Structure 1
Amino acid sequence: MDTSIVELINVTREVAWLPWAVQYFFLIGLSVGGLLLSLPGYAFARTFAHGGWRRLGRLALLVALTCGLAAPVALLSDLHQPGRFWHFYVVFRPSSWMWWGSVFIPFYVAGLLAYGWACFREELQEHGRVDSRLAALYRLAALGGGRDDRLIRATGLVVLTGAALVALYTGVEVAVVKARPLWHTPILPLQFLTTALAGAAGLVLVLNRFAAGNDRGVERLANRLLAGFLGAVMLFGGLWLALGLSGIERTHAEALESVATSEAWRVTALWAVLATVVPFAIAVAKPVGSGLLTGLIAVHGAWMFRWTVFIGGQTVPKTGAGFYEYALPAGPDGLLGIVGTAGLWLFLLLVITAFLPVPPDPASRLMSRPLRAMAAE
């Protein structure tokens, strides 16, 4: 009886999507979430006439602007050679979701800037009447006009379209990768959206604590919204798990099977449950006085979800047994890149809050004062 020996050789592959990609998906998600949270206070102000929506909307708009401007920088960095971005515009490739992203992202950012200007125009005009040093500059920035609800609604609808396209692109770009069952699941885009909304509400709560005088009305409203978003996160997470365990949807079953034998992934699953249930319970039981805690956990949860999906997902081999190991490097492709992106976001926040005038509403006079003082120092 002849015996044949078959030798199998597998190659350990480095991660292709670096932490820059995590930062991009995190920041663009917060931006889209912040935009959606700002719409009731500005574009749909007639329907949501309660004053708390306008104050919350202003903080949410700061989230949308700062994160929306920082996100494309992280995406360019993830190209490894940022000069490659122009290739998207000289090669027509509509079959690629990345190509569509090169169209959707500039459209969204341009619409976001126009919408932000329309929303802050009244404040610019008001400040132009009282600031003798920069009055002319503020009047020029306002283009001689004040609040224009029709302009706000029009630009709001435009940027809402851009936000929907960006949310679709960021979700589907990952979900179409059939080689990785953990990514190729129909529910993933919805999980990206709900965790982004939760993270945006969390960042609003953090900014409310440090940049808006700790407005109790905003804290209560934002915590209630956060609880709703976290409820949606739990719903889609439970649905994902149910589809995987039941085998009704084969893709989810394959995704669950790919990580079921890993102790590290079981710990990650436990963390995900706690990071969702704990802030949900706190936000429901104590919506006032807990904003900083629930906000920080929510922001952390939104970031770690993307880290787990992107970096963790790449440690699951396409072929072979076991899992690849990933160690976060200290250089630009690792920790330094994460810190640098966070620093860019903080810089944008300081610049905007330093030069954006204080709202005329007396209830929010304290808004931005701590950050304006930090920028002055």
Structure 2
Amino acid sequence: MDFLQSLTTIASITPNRPWGLDVPNYFWFTGSSAAAFIISSFAHVFGMRKYKPIAGFSLLLAFVLLAAAPFNLIDDLRQPGRILNFFAYGWENFLTSPMKWGVLLLLAYPLLILFEALVLYRPFFVRQAESARSAFAGRWFRMMALGNMRTDEASLARDERRGLILGIIGIPLALSVHGYTGYILGVVHANPLWSTPLMPILFLASAMVSGTGLLIILLPLVQKFFTPMGRVDGDMMRELARLLGWFIIIDLVIRFFWLTFAMPFAGEERFVLQAFFQHHFFDVVYIEYLLCLFVPLAIAFSPLARRTGWVFAAGLIAAVGVWLFRWNTVIGGQTIGRTATGFLEYSPHWFGQGSITAVMANWGVFIALLALVMVLFPWDKEMAVHYKGGSHGEK
């Protein structure tokens, strides 16, 4: 082996380091995006009219979450330029590589959401183009209207059909975008906490909880301060609370199957898992389950769901609980030693790549993108149309 080949070999060695904070944060973002899209599809695909007022906002939220999510992966790479390797290499292993599935999914899914949003808001862009005060604004809104300035019944009916088709295609895409993240963990046979066929389903179930919780957090804020009606739709908050409660029940059932199959009936791995959950007993049982799942569940199906403040608290606690579940699964799974007893320790650092500050910056990207999308898309006007003529919400 000559000097140049030796140098190439040394340069290609990747440090053996654990996934840090970026990865559970990425999983949380993609899962919440899938949930937001599914909730918007309740109205656009399944015709559930009670979700019409929030369907457009939920669709935009799904897009923003997915647009912000890959920044976690870029930060986790340490060298951002290495993101090109995802597109350039590994396609020969596509059928057996969940990460390669993710490359296509992360390209196709946000484009589909964007086009569905443009179709949904096209009539509003047409009206904005017609009332634009400058030529630039007129051209901009004409472009956002996909060049179609017609608003007759036939054109609107075509928009509805196109939105329906995009929504139908988007549902399996949304489920796949987050399901593949569960695949990435589930296929790692060396890790007893991850190695289960239930992992993709478990991730999807908990994602529905976090996405609904995030919508419960954001909806009263945007309705109160950024819509013409200036008040919170209490009926919608109660509906989302019930939806959150049912998603928590589904999540708990799947977690029950996961834990009862893994801990009592697995092979030698069950002893490792028993020791793991004993080691993390307080944060898993008291915080993740009792506080972040059972408390929101109790609020959702009790008279407290009639109070917006309690529903907001339930959504916040549930969303945080799913983030903790991602943390305990991704980071906790890596603390299980491969060759020795006991557990490794992981302490996130404050600054630099993969740090607490980096994750906070990613949340800043999410907030900035959400603000930008809320400015570009007339979601408030679309929401007002569905509320027009009715008495909704509470002060």
Q: How many pairs are equivalent?
A: 347
Matched, 1:342 2:358: no
Matched, 1:237 2:240: no
2:325 corresponding residue in structure 1: 305
Tell me: CA distance 1:180–1:127, structure 2 relative to 1, closer, same or farther (3 Å).
same
1:137 corresponding residue in structure 2: 140
Per-residue deviation, 1:105: 1.4
| Per-residue deviation, residues 337-377 of structure 1 (Å, max 9, x unmatched) | 11011100000111111222232435658xxxxxxxxxxxx
Aligned partner of residue 40 in structure 2, secondary structure = helix
Tell me: CA distance 1:188–1:209, structure 2 relative to 1, closer, same or farther (3 Å).
same
The answer to whether the Cα contact below 8 Å between 1:227 and 1:280 also exists between their aligned partners in 2 is: yes
Equivalent position to 1:20, from 19, 22, 25: 22
5+ long unaligned stretches in structure 1? 1-12, 366-377
Tell me: CA distance 1:156–1:363, structure 2 relative to 1, closer, same or farther (3 Å).
closer
1:215 corresponding residue in structure 2: 233
Per-residue deviation, 1:167: 2.6
The answer to whether the Cα contact below 8 Å between 1:197 and 1:229 also exists between their aligned partners in 2 is: yes
| Per-residue deviation, residues 103-140 of structure 1 (Å, max 9, x unmatched) | 22111122121122222223322433445454543233
Matched, 1:359 2:381: yes
Alpha-carbon distance between aligned partners in 1 of 2:305 and 2:121, rounded to the nearest angstrom = 28
Alpha-carbon distance between aligned partners in 2 of 1:240 and 1:116, rounded to the nearest angstrom = 37
Alpha-carbon distance between aligned partners in 2 of 1:76 and 1:55, rounded to the nearest angstrom = 35
Q: TM-score, normalised by structure 1?
A: 0.85
2:313 corresponding residue in structure 1: 293
2:5 corresponding residue in structure 1: none
1:4 corresponding residue in structure 2: none
Matched, 1:281 2:298: yes
Alpha-carbon distance between aligned partners in 2 of 1:304 and 1:112, rounded to the nearest angstrom = 28
2:208 corresponding residue in structure 1: 197
Alpha-carbon distance between aligned partners in 2 of 1:304 and 1:267, rounded to the nearest angstrom = 9
Aligned partner of residue 359 in structure 1, secondary structure = helix
The equivalences for 1:165-180 within 5 A come to 165-180=176-191
User: Structure 1 counterpart of 2:288, which letter?
Assistant: A
Per-residue deviation, 1:255: 5.7
| Per-residue deviation, residues 129-164 of structure 1 (Å, max 9, x unmatched) | 445454543233112245411110122123223223
Alpha-carbon distance between aligned partners in 1 of 2:250 and 2:218, rounded to the nearest angstrom = 23
2:102 corresponding residue in structure 1: 101
Alpha-carbon distance between aligned partners in 2 of 1:42 and 1:356, rounded to the nearest angstrom = 17
Matched, 1:188 2:186: no
Per-residue deviation, 1:295: 1.3
Alpha-carbon distance between aligned partners in 2 of 1:302 and 1:126, rounded to the nearest angstrom = 41
Alpha-carbon distance between aligned partners in 2 of 1:252 and 1:35, rounded to the nearest angstrom = 37
Which structure is higher in helix share?
A: 2
Identity of aligned residues (%): 26
Tell me: CA distance 1:22–1:216, structure 2 relative to 1, closer, same or farther (3 Å).
same
Alpha-carbon distance between aligned partners in 1 of 2:334 and 2:281, rounded to the nearest angstrom = 13
Aligned partner of residue 111 in structure 1, secondary structure = helix
2:124 corresponding residue in structure 1: 123
1:31 corresponding residue in structure 2: 33
Equivalent position to 1:268, from 266, 269, 284: 284
Alpha-carbon distance between aligned partners in 1 of 2:285 and 2:219, rounded to the nearest angstrom = 30
The answer to whether the Cα contact below 8 Å between 1:184 and 1:251 also exists between their aligned partners in 2 is: no
The answer to whether the Cα contact below 8 Å between 2:179 and 2:203 also exists between their aligned partners in 1 is: no
Per-residue deviation, 1:252: 7.3
